[in-house]
């Protein structure tokens, strides 16, 4: 045999054997033989300190719906909104003209009535079976943004006339009243084929909320507008003048209201409607109207906003102790409960002070997963009246001052949010969970300061646009506590 | 011109050898045995002549580099430069309970060259694996105190190699002494990775490396009692317990960051070894030998910690028959035949059981034309471990191919 042949033989052999078919398989044989040097344990006994804080400066303008009404919450007190809306003149209200022969003639009009109309969306929070009161007052102060700000906050306020334009009662039927039909709404006619023509002239046949404003103030406002039309005043033709004249309205609930609801704005469906008739010529006496919708924006800026307030003086956990943003009400002072509420700005704050103690276990270690679980207080919610939040619960880092620092990031550049883990058999064992793995890991790597904490609540950009609330149970040493379940590898 | 060509060929073979060594250090393993988790890994056979695992302490041959007993090198033929390159393919089947799994491993097993430097003084340099890690075990376990599972993968790769400078001296006609200076290098890499089941991308990875950079040595002797046609050879070997310098590097990676990183400098012990062998040479064609080897692993420490190993006893038998009486013309009459068997108690105790290995082998040596060398092939069949007590038994077959090239360097050609 020649040397070259031998080398060839070696190469072929090595090639054949290199094709080891087992390369990517998992081999379980022998798994019992090895004394592992690491343990994987679940640790859910890390102390979590929880409290409730109230944040101010919640933005409540720039939203495309008006949140109206008030509800009585057994935990959070009487919660209400006063919605400050810009009243638009809908491209102006000019005196009607008629062609008589070849001459244009202006026709004077006469005021009939002023009506508040609203088409809610289907969302509501609270009890719809009770009668609701609705008040509308005319603002006496122009809506103006604070210096160097571009939004209003939940605590912003403006002066309004003492006597309301409207003070009326109604029943809220959010689903039924959300039905909008343009023809009916505009008192039009519809051709129903063989049934002939249906005419919605006269009475309002729609399903929306339709409240006649028959107070003296409303009548005199209506007459004043009609007068301005008849005199062809700039006030009803030029937007700036109009806004200076009307300034806006505030829509308020009565003290005993039981439900909060929503009316979309931007589609001109939340409005005051002025009915009038012409006094001369062919159409004299015929029902006509002009709509004054509530819109987001005034002449330049978006000014409509909601003012939220709540009376917490009779709450069982004395939540009226929350006044300033710096106040922190530990859960042991509130019957082991913490609270989250949109609009008012309640957030649950948690601190995990001893996370870094994990590092003292074994030689070293690492985190495989960390899940934060929170349990809604049993019986604090139901599917009908007081549902669990529909908005995402997200997390912010914060410090002693309870200011938002940064949002905890989740996958794909979204904010980390909680998922609801429903237990259909035992409803009270349902809980919210979120993955804090990278947060915990970050603390293990970079450490944390004493005041580092997490705020749990609604997204700061949208917290002024929701009435959702959540009562969280944090009963120490029970299954129903805020807990962090860390799967941790301990290296021996 | 001739010697220049030889140097080229040697270089070429050295390069091929190095390629295999580097593949040994990275991709391929010498073993897939889960038992390679223990101690320093699976101990590679260091016997220089195949079949592997045979007795050899009392063997010497003019054209064989018996590095196992360096004293044998004193018997090297003059004028001969010997180059050796060996590869081993191992086919193994692991059995545990009702499960089994098969593995194929191929690797370089030896690169060596040697020659007689002076009358009665032979020298050799060799490179061979000393220990090898190749376990690859995956298990699904329950998080302690939880309800979720995780996957734990344990993987051993790499191994320790030894670069040996062997010297054999003839003291008297009957007595030879030898010494091996050994540089142990390479690294034992142990990876443990833990991945939670489902969803999470967080994982835990621990890599522990034993990086050896140290020296040790052993000595050997052969004494030959001559009779009329036959001779009896007594071979002995001794290695003191030596702490070999090493670094231990531990790195823990978790969610993209290094949680722990530590490099320790220290040493690990190679055991005290006693070896004795009795060999019988009958004429020039037949040799029969038996070896006993005691390695005192129980006293060894690694980075000042007990190794938890047990003493190793190895018994081996071998016979080598050179069919060529010097005048052979037929192919089969030109071959060298070898048979061997061994029983090795190993150096580990797992679950109160000794993990022993036993096997037998046979091989042939085929001379290359014009006395240019020899190809040795051997086949070994063996068993390691046992299935009782839920342990693993490895049934394996090994093919060893070794290329021996002889170059006559020191002949001065005469031209007529």
Q: Is the dihedral of CA A126, A128, A130, A132 positive or negative?
A: positive
In this prediction, residue A212 carries a pLDDT of: 95
pLDDT, tens digit (0-9, with 9 covering 90-100), for B354-392: 999 999 999 999 888 777 888 888 899 999 999 988 899
Radius of gyration of the CA atoms of chain B, in A: 23
Has residue A20 got a pLDDT over 60?
no
Q: A375: closest CA among A338, A425, A342, A347? A: A338
Q: Where are the alpha helices (DSSP H) in B168-288?
A: none
Give A18's contacts in chain B (Cβ within 8 Å): 28, 106
> pLDDT tens digit string along A137-161?
999 999 988 888 889 999 999 999 9
Cβ neighbours around A163 below 10 Å, total: 12
Long-range contacts made by residues A315-320, C-beta under 8 angstroms, separation at least 24? Answer: A315/A75, A315/A76, A315/A77, A316/A74, A316/A75, A317/A75, A319/A52, A319/A75, A319/A76, A319/A77, A319/A346, A320/A77
Give the other-Cβ count within 10 Å of A89's Cβ: 21
Amino acid B24: pLDDT:
46
Instruction: Check residue B102 and give its pLDDT.
Output: 87
Distance CA B293, CA B275 (A): 4
Mean pLDDT taken over chain A: 90
B196 chain-A contacts, CB cut-off 8 A: 368-369, 487
Picking from B323, B305, B385, B299, the residue whose alpha carbon sits closest to that of residue B349 is B385
Every domain of chain A and the residues it spans: 2-56+317-491, 65-303
Reported as a single tens digit per residue, the pLDDT across A323-340 is 999 999 999 999 999 999
Residues 349-368 on B with a CB inside 8 Å of A are 350-351, 366, 368
Which of B259, B364, B404 to probe the A interface (max A CBs under 10 A)?
B259
Question: Is 70 exceeded by the pLDDT of residue B22?
Answer: no
Radius of gyration of chain A from its Cα atoms, rounded to whole angstroms: 32
Nearest to B138 among A27, A33, A444 (CB): A27
> What dihedral angle (degrees, nearest 10) is formed by the CA atoms of A175, A180, A185, A188?
-130
pLDDT at res. A2: 56
Running DSSP on this structure, what letter comes out for residue B76? P
Q: B137 CB near a chain A CB, below 8 Å? A: yes
- Nearest by CB to B194, from A32, A43, A489: name it: A489
Distance of CA B32 to the CA centre of its chain: 15
Measure in Å the smallest separation between the Cα of B100 and chain A Cα atoms: 7
Calculate the alpha carbon distances from B47 to A102, A289, B65, B90, B364 in Å. Answer: 125, 109, 10, 17, 16
Cβ within 8 Å, pair A26-B391: no
Longest CA–CA separation in chain B, Å: 90
Region B178-192: what's the mean pLDDT? 93
Model pTM above 0.80:
yes
ipTM for the predicted complex comes to 0.78
Q: CB of B104 within 8 Å of any CB in chain A?
A: yes
pLDDT digits (tens, 9 = 90+) for A197-245: 888 998 999 999 999 999 999 999 999 999 999 999 999 999 999 999 9
Q: For position B27, what pLDDT does the model report?
A: 44
Q: Is the pLDDT of residue B269 over 80?
A: yes
DSSP character string of A294-345: EESB-SSSB--EEEEEEE-TT-TT-GGG--STT--EEGGGTTTEEEEETTTT
Report whether pLDDT(A281) > 50.
Answer: yes
Is residue B178 pLDDT above 60, yes or no? Answer: yes
pLDDT at B25: 42
Which among B186, B191, B192, B182 is positioned nearest to B211, based on CA atoms? B186
Chain A residues with CB inside 8 Å of B28's CB?
A: 18
The better pLDDT of the pair B179, A410 is held by B179
pLDDT of residue B53: 57
- Chain A partners within 8 Å of B255 (Cβ): 366-367, 437-438, 441
| CB within 8 Å: B28 and A18 | yes
Burial class (CB in 10 A: 0-12, 13-18, 19+), A122: exposed
* pLDDT at A131 (0 to 100): 95
Please indicate whether, in this complex, the C-beta atoms of A29 and B204 are within 8 angstroms of each other.
no
A357-403 pLDDT, tens per residue?
999 998 888 999 999 999 999 889 988 888 899 889 999 999 999 99
pLDDT value for A23? 47
Q: What is the pLDDT of residue B324?
A: 85
| Averaged pLDDT, B40-60 | 73
pLDDT of residue A21: 43
> Which pLDDT score is estimated for B415?
64
Q: Identify which of B89, B101, B260 has the shortest CB distance to residue A364.
A: B260
Nearest to B185 by CA among B156, B209, B161, B157: B161
* Portion of chain B with pLDDT greater than 70, in percent: 88
pLDDT at B7: 59
Q: Chain A: nearest CA to B249, how far in angstroms?
A: 14
SS3 (DSSP) at A235: helix
**CB neighbours of residue A102 within 10 Å:** 5
Question: Least CA distance to B98: which residue of chain A?
Answer: A29
Query: In B229-245, which positions are buried (b, 16+ CB within 10 angstroms) versus exposed (e)?
Result: eebebbbbbebebbbbb
DSSP class of A283: T
Interval B409-414 mean pLDDT: 59
- pLDDT band with cut points at 50, 70 and 90 for residue A193: confident
DSSP annotation of B144 reads B
> So what's the pLDDT on residue A32?
77
pLDDT computed for residue B407 by the predictor: 80
Instruction: Flag if B154 and A28 touch (Cβ within 8 Å).
Output: no
Q: What confidence category does residue B47 fall into, taking pLDDT thresholds of 50, 70 and 90?
A: low
Contact between B94 and B101 under an 8 Å Cβ cutoff? The reply is yes
Is the four-CA dihedral A306, A307, A308, A314 of positive or negative sign?
Answer: negative
pLDDT > 70 in chain A, percent = 95
Concatenate the DSSP letters of all residues of B325-376 into one string. -S---SHHHH-EEEEEEEEE--S-EETTEE--EEEEEEEEEEEPGGG-EEEE
3-state SS class at A407: strand
| Among B100, B145, B368, B407, the residue to mutate for chain A (most A Cβ within 10 A) | B145
Q: Indicate the average pLDDT of chain B.
A: 86
- The distance between the two most distant Cα atoms of chain A, rounded to a whole number of Å, is 126
Instruction: Answer whether B120 touches A (CB < 8 Å).
Output: no
Other CB atoms closer than 10 Å to residue A188's CB: what's the count?
13
- Say if B403 is an interface residue toward chain A (CB within 8 Å): yes
CA dihedral B27, B33, B37, B43 (to 10 degrees): -90
Helix axis angle, A3-18 to B2-25, nearest 10°:
10
Select the residue of A33, A44, A441 nearest B392 (Cβ to Cβ): A33
Counted across chains A and B, CB pairs separated by less than 8 A come out at: 169
Q: How many CB atoms lie within 10 A of CB A424?
A: 7
Lowest mean pLDDT segment, chosen from A75-89, A117-131, B91-105 = B91-105
Which of B152, B153, B202, B365 to probe by mutation at the A interface, max A CB count within 10 Å?
Answer: B202
Whether omega for the bond prior to residue B125 falls within 30 degrees of 0, making it cis, is no
Mutation site for B-interface testing, chosen from A8, A10, A25, A27 by largest number of B Cβ within 10 Å: A27
Band of residue A352 on the pLDDT scale cut at 50, 70, 90: very high
β strands within B197-311, DSSP E: 204-226, 230-239, 242-254, 257-270, 272-282, 286-296, 301-302, 305-306
- Would the CB atoms of A445 and B257 count as touching at under 8 Å? yes
Distances (CA, A) of A234 to A139, A227, A402, A405, A407: 20, 12, 49, 49, 49
Min distance A403 CA to chain B CA atoms (Å): 29
Contacts of A41 in chain B (CB under 8 A): 143-146
Residue given tokens 């004054």 in the structure block: A292
Q: Once rounded to an integer, what is the mean pLDDT over residues A282-307?
A: 87
A227 or A99, greater pLDDT: A227
Supply the pLDDT for residue B98: 87
Going A290 to A295 to A301 to A304, the CA torsion angle's sign is positive
A14-18 long-range Cβ contacts below 8 angstroms, 24+ apart: A14/B20, A14/B87, A14/B106, A17/B89, A17/B104, A17/B105, A17/B106, A18/B28, A18/B106
Higher pLDDT, residue A75 or A191: A75
Rounded to a whole number, what is the distance in angstroms from the first to the last CA of chain A? 57
User: A30, A36, A410: which to substitute to probe chain B, counting the most B Cβ within 10 Å?
Assistant: A30
**Among candidates B220, B231, B235, B221, which has minimal Cα distance to B292?**
B235
What is the rounded distance in angstroms from the CA atom of residue A256 to the CA atom of residue A78?
9
């Amino acid at each position: 045999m020649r040397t070259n042949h031998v080398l060839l033989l070696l190469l072929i052999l090595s090639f054949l054997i290199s094709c080891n078919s087992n390369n990517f398989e998992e081999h379980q044989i022998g798994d019992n033989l090895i004394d592992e040097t690491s343990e994987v344990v679940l640790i859910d006994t890390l102390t979590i300190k929880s409290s409730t804080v109230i944040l101010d400066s919640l933005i409540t303008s720039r939203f495309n719906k008006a949140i109206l009404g008030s509800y009585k919450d057994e935990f959070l007190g009487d919660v209400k909104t006063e919605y400050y809306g810009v009243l638009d003149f809908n491209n102006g209200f000019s005196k009607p003209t008629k062609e008589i022969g070849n001459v244009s003639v202006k026709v004077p009009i006469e005021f009939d009535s002023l009506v508040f109309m609203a088409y809610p969306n289907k969302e509501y929070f609270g009890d719809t079976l009770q009668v609701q009161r609705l008040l509308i007052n005319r603002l006496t102060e122009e809506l103006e943004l604070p210096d160097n700000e571009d939004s209003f906050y939940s605590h912003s306020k403006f002066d309004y006339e003492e006597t309301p334009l409207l003070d009326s009662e109604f029943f809220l039927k959010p689903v039924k009243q959300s039905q909008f039909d343009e023809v009916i709404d505009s008192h039009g006619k519809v051709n129903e084929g063989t049934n002939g023509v249906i005419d919605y002239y006269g009475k309002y046949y729609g399903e929306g909320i339709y409240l006649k404003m028959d107070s003296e103030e409303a009548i005199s406002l209506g007459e004043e507008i009609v007068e301005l039309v008849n005199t062809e005043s700039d006030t009803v033709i030029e937007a700036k003048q109009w806004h200076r004249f009307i300034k806006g309205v505030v829509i308020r609930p009565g003290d005993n209201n039981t439900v909060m609801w929503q009316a979309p704005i931007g589609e001109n469906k939340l409005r005051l409607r002025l009915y009038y008739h012409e006094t001369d010529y062919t159409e004299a006496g015929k029902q006509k109207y002009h709509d004054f919708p509530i819109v987001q924006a005034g002449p330049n800026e978006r000014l409509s906003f909601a003012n939220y307030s709540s009376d917490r003086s009779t709450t069982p956990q004395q939540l009226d102790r929350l006044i300033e943003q710096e106040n922190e009400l530990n859960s042991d002072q509130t019957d082991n409960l913490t609270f989250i509420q949109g609009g008012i700005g309640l957030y649950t704050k948690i601190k995990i002070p001893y996370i870094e103690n994990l590092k003292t276990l074994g030689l070293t270690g690492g985190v495989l997963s960390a899940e934060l679980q929170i349990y809604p207080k049993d019986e604090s919610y139901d599917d009908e009246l007081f549902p669990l939040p529909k908005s995402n619960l997200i997390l912010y880092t914060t410090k002693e001052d309870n200011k938002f620092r940064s949002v905890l990031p989740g996958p794909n550049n979204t904010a980390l949010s909680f998922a609801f883990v429903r237990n259909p058999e035992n409803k009270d064992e349902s809980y919210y969970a979120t993955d804090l793995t990278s947060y915990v890991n970050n603390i293990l790597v970079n450490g944390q300061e004493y005041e580092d904490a997490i705020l749990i609540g609604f997204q700061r950009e949208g917290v002024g646009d929701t009435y959702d609330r959540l009562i969280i149970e944090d009963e120490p040493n029970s299954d129903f506590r805020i807990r962090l379940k860390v799967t941790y590898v301990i290296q021996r | 011109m001739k010697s220049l060509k030889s140097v080229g060929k040697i270089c070429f073979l050295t390069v091929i050898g190095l390629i295999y060594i580097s593949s040994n250090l990275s991709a391929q393993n010498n073993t897939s045995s889960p038992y390679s988790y223990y101690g320093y890994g699976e101990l590679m056979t260091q016997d220089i002549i195949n079949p592997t695992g045979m007795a050899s302490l009392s063997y010497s041959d003019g054209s064989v580099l018996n590095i196992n007993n360096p004293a044998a090198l004193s018997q090297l033929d003059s004028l001969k430069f010997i180059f050796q390159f060996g590869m081993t393919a191992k086919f193994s089947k692991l059995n545990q309970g009702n499960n089994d799994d098969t593995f194929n491993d191929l690797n370089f097993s030896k690169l060596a060259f040697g020659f007689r430097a002076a009358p009665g003084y032979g020298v050799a340099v060799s490179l061979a694996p000393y220990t090898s890690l190749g376990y690859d075990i995956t298990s699904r376990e329950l998080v302690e105190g939880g309800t979720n599972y995780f996957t734990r993968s344990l993987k051993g790769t790499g191994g320790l190699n030894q670069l040996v400078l062997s010297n054999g001296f003839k003291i008297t006609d009957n007595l030879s002494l030898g010494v091996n200076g050994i540089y142990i290098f390479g690294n034992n890499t142990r990876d443990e990775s833990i991945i939670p089941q489902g969803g999470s991308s967080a994982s835990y990875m621990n890599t522990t490396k034993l990086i050896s950079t140290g020296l040790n040595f052993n000595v050997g002797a052969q004494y030959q009692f001559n009779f009329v046609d036959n001779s009896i050879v007594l071979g002995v070997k001794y290695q003191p317990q030596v702490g070999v310098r090493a670094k231990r590097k531990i790195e823990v990676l978790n969610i993209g960051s290094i949680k722990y990183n530590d490099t320790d400098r220290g040493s690990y012990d190679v055991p005290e070894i006693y070896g004795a062998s009795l060999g019988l040479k009958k004429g020039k064609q037949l040799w029969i030998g038996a070896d006993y080897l005691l390695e005192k692993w129980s006293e060894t420490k690694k980075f000042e910690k007990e190794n938890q190993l047990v003493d190793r006893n190895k018994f081996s038998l071998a016979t080598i028959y050179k069919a060529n009486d010097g005048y052979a013309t037929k192919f089969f009459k030109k071959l060298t035949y070898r048979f061997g068997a061994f029983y090795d108690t190993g150096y580990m105790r797992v679950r109160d059981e000794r993990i022993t290995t036993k096997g037998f082998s046979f091989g042939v040596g085929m001379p290359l034309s014009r006395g240019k060398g020899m190809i040795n092939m051997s086949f070994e069949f063996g068993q390691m471990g046992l299935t009782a007590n839920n342990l693993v038994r490895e049934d394996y077959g090994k093919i060893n191919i070794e290329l021996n090239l002889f170059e006559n360097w020191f002949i001065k050609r005469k031209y007529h």
